[in-house]
Amino acid sequence: MSLGQALVSHVRSAMLAKLRGQPLPESHPLLSGMKSGVFVTVEAIVRSGGFERREVRGSLGVVEPFKDLAYDTAKIAAKLVYAIPRFTEFDLRRSVIEVTLVEELREWDGGLAGFEWGREGVYAVAGQRRVVVLPQTMIERKILGEALLRYIESMAGPPERLYRFSTRIFYELHPEGEVIERELWKSRVIKQFLEVVR
């Protein structure tokens, strides 16, 4: 089983356990030996006008590990079940799960030269406020270049500390389907942005 498959399967098991009032699966043969920040995102498949689109129902995570990947992922998945209004087993079967691993968290001066769009995310601290911007959010909302710094300030105010981090993003192609690792740096949005700034 690949890392992506293991993560997504573990998230689904934890969500199902929480929905059924059963104990959470807090260990895993592969994931218990790993440490990483992790975010879990649930997307609903919405069909309208003959088209299918994905709609984020909820996203939750930590930029630094609390215990290990199996424990942390299970706890986050269980909290997310409660954070999404009226979320049921039926909803889970119709949803796509995405898991983002957060690695190499390091201080950042906000300089955009050398920033790896599509691979790196940002964590900002401003007083009691904490803002995390994952690479997929940057692409979906087209907040690239200086727009990223403006977005962070609009969410948290002037940041006191900034960090950047590397990511690995694992994603179901359809509910309970094949899991792939997303290569966002190949996205058309990023290619167009890089052509403009060159």
Look up the domain containing 15 and give its range: 3-197
Q: Report the pLDDT value the prediction gives residue 169, as an integer from 0 to 100.
A: 97
The answer to whether 95 touches 175, Cβ cutoff 8 Å, is: yes
At position 46, the amino acid (one-letter code) is V
Compute the C-alpha angle 123/126/131, nearest 5°.
35
Domain count, the chain: 1
How much is the pTM?
0.92
Task: List the end-to-end C-alpha distance of the chain, in Å, as a whole number.
Answer: 41
Is the distance from CB of 58 to CB of 43 less than 8 angstroms?
Answer: no
CATH code assigned at 174: 3.30.700.20
Model confidence over 64-97: pLDDT tens digits?
999 999 999 999 999 999 999 999 999 999 999 9
Tell me phi and psi for residue 16, to 5 degrees.
Answer: -65, -45
